Structure 1
Amino acid sequence: MNSALFVPKQCLLAMLISLATVPALAASPTLKLQPWPHTQEVSINALGFVPGQSTTERLASAREGLLLLDAQGRELSRLEGAFEGLDSRALGAKALVASLDSTRQQALLVSLDPEKRQWGKPLYLPARDFPVNGLCLYRDEASNLFVFLVGEEGKGEQWLVGNGEHLNERAQRVRGLPLPPDAQTCQVQDSANQLFVNEEKVGWWAYPASSEADAVRVPVAMRTPFGDIQQAAGDMAALPGGLLGLDPQAGQLHLYQQDSKGWAAKASLALPGLNEPESLAIRSTQTGLELLLRDDDNGRLYQGQINWQPASVSLPPVLPTVAAIGQSEPVARQGDAADDPAIWVHPTTPALSRVLGTNKKEGLLAYDLQGKLLQELPVGRLNNVDVRTNFKLGTQTVDLAVASNRDHNSLSLFRIDRVSGELREAGEIPTPLNEIYGICLFQPVEGELYAFANGKDGRYLQYRLSAPDGVVKGELVRQFSVDSQPEGCVADDQRQRLFLGEEDVGVWAVDARADRPATLNSVIKVGPQLHADVEGIALYQGAGNDYLVISSQGNDSYLVLDGEPPYAVRGAFRVGLNGTAGIDGASETDGLEVTSANLGGPWSVGMLVVQDGRKRMPEQTQNFKFVPWSEVAKALRLP
């Protein structure tokens, strides 16, 4: 039962008494409804307002075309065709209109210039392999434009169709979305990034609209006996902080307010004279809400006003978005497979540098800077990986990659050829950990190398690595613990410091030297800025500026802090989609890595690599996203 919809009698009486003493807009909502004259020669099935507060024009879809109407219902312009459904968004000085072409059985988007009363060239989505019942538009925080399709048998899809004031030349499918089996319609409230979908026999649902979000849903309102919907959850309209929904069989319009606990019913308004109300459209005015309705029983149209507006809702801060300009090929295993990257910098030819990545269902992967897979080393379930240069392997000098191997609770070692970049297995070091997890390397001086390995029980083991006879060995030199599950770690070789993450607690700093006490000093705790789980940690060391980069997995963001006390927070950002390059954003990130090395071209001031836990556009197995550090610095205004 939705407890937010249940109000005890004594509380209801107190609410009614209090409402009687406040201004009209806050009193019990009332509806004034009257017939709306319209063009009689067309069969209108959906209504809408032209985006913009100062406009008086209306939009309509009909079996005879898409229509631009004046406030009196007179036709001003028409796009010929047969259309069903309607949604719109501002597109600069124009309007973007979405509808379903009944003849072609395809969704389309078309621009409209209301002042010139001219329709643009339609952009058609590819024909789908399922019947499309409804559609709705969405503009995200980065001004990307999307259209959601609601289909039969629970099929839903999200498509990228434009950005800012421009439509793309072609639409790109971003993801599939499981929806209720009898869903017919949808609406999106852009500022809250919420997608609303009806399930006629159950209720109205709210989903995250972000293209990187998980497909979870929460109820807005349910049918009796679990909520206040008497018969059916029909068409709806969304606005900041609120939702209006039609129960066409009961002839009621329901008003809902969102708050920190969920959704609460505010009023149920009767719709006298309407036998089957559908096609609800609303917009805010200074005195409340203006709405349009259609009676599906006889095709008559109505307009009205409601003296109510939902209260404002506190929303998370809008974070800047940067786009990846490259990505790796997807890993060769399904599910949660890709985990942690590392960056190996070629000593003489930066363009030949490598991005290493772990596949925790298979082994170690090596990519070039364009994301092409160059090597697969199937050595077991590797979780984290780190790299250091100039390691003495007998009489040879090699670069070394070390990964945590969950199959053997060991450290897997790989030598990297300093000319070709080729990786080869270089041995294995067993550990007493029951469930090895993270790994990072520490190189305080040339010729000396340490590995930190942690387990799920919170233990950290520090090993001194050496190979005087050509076989890598590990000597355990120190142990310490954190109280709960640890995650990623990174060592600051210059300042001999280790940064480590504790998933639900925060980030700590500890002296990395083996002969020093392992005293934990708090860098940042989980809270408003850092959202659990704390995952990957990396260190950017530039010319005079060091930054910690942390995967704040709980809100799909990345937090940047100064790399020295007092570890001031420089800001947070998200990795969003790059429509031009056809690269989706990154979310549910586990590991990450960053370098300040000049790798050439867009990587002239460094590269950030993040694991993408939800690969989309198209939907594939997980991979790694490549982001120019210059874009991060620009977004956060770093010095």
Structure 2
Amino acid sequence: MISIFHPKHLLPAVLLALAACQPQTASQPASPALSLAPWDIPAKVEDLRFLPDGQALLAASARHGLLLLDRQGAELARLPGSFGGLDSRAAGSGVVVASLDNASQQAMLVDLDLAGRRWGARHYLPARDYPVAGLCLYRDEVANLYLFLVGEDGHGEQWLVGDGRRLLADPRRVRGLPLPPEAEHCQADDAAGQLFVNEENVGLWAYPAHPEADSARAPVDMVAPFGGLQKAAGALAVVPGGLLALDPEAAALHLYQQRERNWERIAALPLAGLEEPERLALRLSDKGLDLLVLDDGDGKLHQGTLDWLPEAPKPAVPLPNVAALRQSEPVARQGDAADDPAIWVNPRDPAASRVLGTNKKEGLLVYDLDGHLLQELPVGRLNNVDVRPNFQLGAGWVDLAVASNRDTNSLSIFSIDRASGELKAAGEVPTPLGEIYGICLFQPASGELYAFANDKDGSFLQYRLDGVGGRVSGELVRRFRVASQPEGCVADDQRQRLFVGEEDVGVWALDARADQPAELASVMKVGEVLHADVEGLALYQSEERDYLVISSQGNDSYVVLDAEPPFALRGAFRVGLNAGAGIDGASETDGLEVTSANLGGPWSEGMLVVQDGRKRMPEQTQNFKFVPWAEVARALKL
């Protein structure tokens, strides 16, 4: 995240970016026309919004409460109280209204039935330990409703307040958001998934609004001499493809058009006759934009029409969302710690199966199917892990887990008791790799077991594992490489095929047999669907169909392909928030695993486990999310 607290501290890169997105005045088209006229209404208001139908208005008043007004300013319905700050979203035949209750100093949400002109029950967020200066609503692509709070001294928060079309009785804090210390106003663009925030003496910022996004911000415009805002950045209003912002000290309205990732300043329009424009509301009309501007200087409202509309972007097609039904306990180390899961299927009692997960700052973790931590094996910085059954260790047979150990550049071996599911460290197989990274296992029908380990330099080593003497050893049987950094890999035991991921390039397939040439065939390249980094790979194998599942880390999604040539694309999805269970979505996923085994209950059609790189709601260390495969199949119509 760029951290900027005053124009003199702006980074050169930000200045260059702004210069690149701001054309010279000489090349600008003629400024849009704007005319404003005073609009007298009986009540003095602090903020106002057009309702979605454009036929009525909402107003927040410190004296008169929340008001529903007609287009002439006459009162239609009132919620008593003292309020400041306002936002709303359509909800069926009514609207959800958010405001700040001045008496309790809390954010409040309430339903408004437009047809009956009735206010519903009030829902309050818990009192915060900082003064809340502003708020705004955001609705994501699956209709979850969030409220952003803007507070003094850089405080910011995102709260889940609605599930579908209903308000939650118990709002949940999703994440903290570091905001500028001089922020007071915010607005969210639901379609674009962006949050806009002002920093009064510095400029305007755009943040990703999605709860699984990181906290990176990008400049929209800066205060002079670094940008086009003459004196200050004030209230904001969003229109598809564009943004409007007030400069209250210069009494001007600025118009912006988004061009891909950059912002173009279209015009700066003087607001003649206004002393200090403080609030802004708009709606789309046949002639452009209908505006309402509240002047803090004289407390009056001004209305008018702006003959300008930005070029609306082509709407993005949202990916289907599936929700995790369970999640693991968070790992015990901070930062980028959790990495790769594996699923061990209990041959006697599938419901007692285990999920293994690596903590690359500590060791191996073992969970039950509800995510409860059962075992910790602190053997070193394990990166990836894989599991296979029926391995002969001395005179007995065990199931085996193998992980890549970055402390020792070795393969860490674990035996799994086939009755209890208990794991025990069973030795190390050294490798000559300089920086071991990913690992996966291959077990052909003939019964022997192979391990593939890779290095960040693109090298792959294939080992034949042997445990007849009671100690696991490894014999190097093949070497090959890809051109750049790999990590994830998975072997199709039945077809003797190995899939490997090259993080910035795509997915390759090759023969998994040690005595065959390692000829790489492209399965899928990074592009419109698969976004770098390519991370975890897993196979869902059933009697009907086999699928390859890929972690597309660059856009927090998961891609599903047929696991046989021509590797047809079956779709992509995201693991989204489960509001009812209080489980956040998954993002920045490194490793994943899937099984088609019937593990009982919600896992009767199998289970998908994904690492979650950003644990939210509440914010904790990383963990793993457990998703019923039936939900993936339903979302992608598999």
Matches within 5 A, 1:93-108: 93-108=93-108
Which structure 1 residue ranges, 4+ long, deviate > 4 Å from structure 2? none
Q: Structure 1, residues 117-137: CA drift from partner, whole Å, max 9, x if none?
A: 110001000000000000000
**What secondary structure sits across from 1:484 in the alignment?**
coil
Deviation at 1:34, TM superposition (A): 1.1
Deviation at 1:446, TM superposition (A): 5.0
Aligned match of 1:464: 464
Q: 1:103 to 1:56 in 2, by over 3 A?
A: closer
How many Å separate the matches in 2 of 1:485 and 1:223?
A: 42
Deviation at 1:57, TM superposition (A): 3.8
Deviation at 1:497, TM superposition (A): 0.2
Paired letter, 1:45: E
Deviation at 1:361, TM superposition (A): 0.2
Deviation at 1:240, TM superposition (A): 1.0
1:52–1:90: 8 Å Cα contact kept in structure 2? no
Q: 1:504 to 1:154 in 2, by over 3 A?
A: same
How many Å separate the matches in 2 of 1:155 and 1:9?
A: 36
Q: 1:511 to 1:345 in 2, by over 3 A?
A: same
Deviation at 1:595, TM superposition (A): 0.2
Instruction: Give the TM-score of the pair, scaled to structure 2.
Output: 0.96
Q: Structure 1, residues 375-416: CA drift from partner, whole Å, max 9, x if none?
A: 000000000000000001111110000000000000000000
2:60–2:83: 8 Å Cα contact kept in structure 1? no
Q: Structure 1, residues 69-96: CA drift from partner, whole Å, max 9, x if none?
A: 1111111111011100000000110111
Aligned match of 1:159: 159
How many Å separate the matches in 2 of 1:7 and 1:386?
A: 54
Matches within 5 A, 1:361-372: 361-372=361-372
Aligned match of 2:52: 51
1:202–1:233: 8 Å Cα contact kept in structure 2? yes
Matches within 5 A, 1:244-255: 244-255=244-255
Aligned match of 1:423: 423
Aligned match of 1:555: 555
Deviation at 1:4, TM superposition (A): 4.3
Matches within 5 A, 1:59-458: 59-458=59-458
Aligned match of 2:488: 488
Deviation at 1:251, TM superposition (A): 0.6
Aligned match of 2:41: 38
Q: 1:3 aligns with which of 16, 19, 29?
A: 19
How many Å separate the matches in 1 of 2:550 and 2:617?
A: 25
1:255–1:268: 8 Å Cα contact kept in structure 2? yes
How many Å separate the matches in 2 of 1:551 and 1:228?
A: 41
Aligned match of 1:474: 474
Aligned match of 1:630: 630
**What secondary structure sits across from 1:457 in the alignment?**
coil
**What secondary structure sits across from 1:630 in the alignment?**
helix
**What secondary structure sits across from 1:121 in the alignment?**
strand
1:237–1:244: 8 Å Cα contact kept in structure 2? yes
Structure 1 residue ranges without an equivalent (≥5): 17-27
Deviation at 1:10, TM superposition (A): 5.2
Deviation at 1:9, TM superposition (A): 5.7
Paired letter, 1:33: L
Deviation at 1:462, TM superposition (A): 0.3
How many Å separate the matches in 1 of 2:369 and 2:217?
A: 38
- Greater shift, 510-519 or 310-319, is seen at 310-319
Q: CA RMSD in A?
A: 1.1
Deviation at 1:30, TM superposition (A): 0.8
How many Å separate the matches in 2 of 1:243 and 1:11?
A: 20
**What secondary structure sits across from 2:27 in the alignment?**
helix
**What secondary structure sits across from 1:370 in the alignment?**
coil
Paired letter, 1:46: D
How many Å separate the matches in 2 of 1:613 and 1:569?
A: 25
Paired letter, 1:341: P
Aligned match of 1:25: none
Q: Structure 1, residues 194-218: CA drift from partner, whole Å, max 9, x if none?
A: 0000000011100000000000001
Q: Structure 1, residues 150-180: CA drift from partner, whole Å, max 9, x if none?
A: 0011010000001221111110000000000
How many Å separate the matches in 1 of 2:429 and 2:387?
A: 16
Aligned match of 1:592: 592
How many Å separate the matches in 1 of 2:456 and 2:336?
A: 18
**What secondary structure sits across from 1:245 in the alignment?**
strand
Q: Structure 1, residues 450-492: CA drift from partner, whole Å, max 9, x if none?
A: 0000011111000001111111110000000001000100000
How many Å separate the matches in 2 of 1:564 and 1:101?
A: 59
2:49–2:57: 8 Å Cα contact kept in structure 1? no
- Greater shift, 403-412 or 257-266, is seen at 257-266
- Greater shift, 546-555 or 43-52, is seen at 43-52
Aligned match of 2:3: none
2:60–2:99: 8 Å Cα contact kept in structure 1? no
How many Å separate the matches in 2 of 1:617 and 1:339?
A: 20
Paired letter, 1:48: R
Aligned match of 2:7: none
- Greater shift, 206-215 or 259-268, is seen at 259-268
2:23–2:264: 8 Å Cα contact kept in structure 1? no
Aligned match of 2:5: none
Aligned match of 2:516: 516
Q: 1:5 to 1:353 in 2, by over 3 A?
A: closer
Q: 1:394 to 1:86 in 2, by over 3 A?
A: same
How many Å separate the matches in 2 of 1:61 and 1:549?
A: 53
**What secondary structure sits across from 1:150 in the alignment?**
strand
1:505–1:532: 8 Å Cα contact kept in structure 2? yes
Q: Equivalent pairs: percent with the same residue?
A: 68
How many Å separate the matches in 2 of 1:250 and 1:11?
A: 24
How many Å separate the matches in 2 of 1:10 and 1:616?
A: 47
How many Å separate the matches in 2 of 1:442 and 1:486?
A: 18
2:46–2:59: 8 Å Cα contact kept in structure 1? no
1:5–1:227: 8 Å Cα contact kept in structure 2? no
Paired letter, 2:138: Y
Q: How many residues align?
A: 622
Deviation at 1:8, TM superposition (A): 3.4
2:410–2:429: 8 Å Cα contact kept in structure 1? yes
How many Å separate the matches in 1 of 2:36 and 2:254?
A: 15
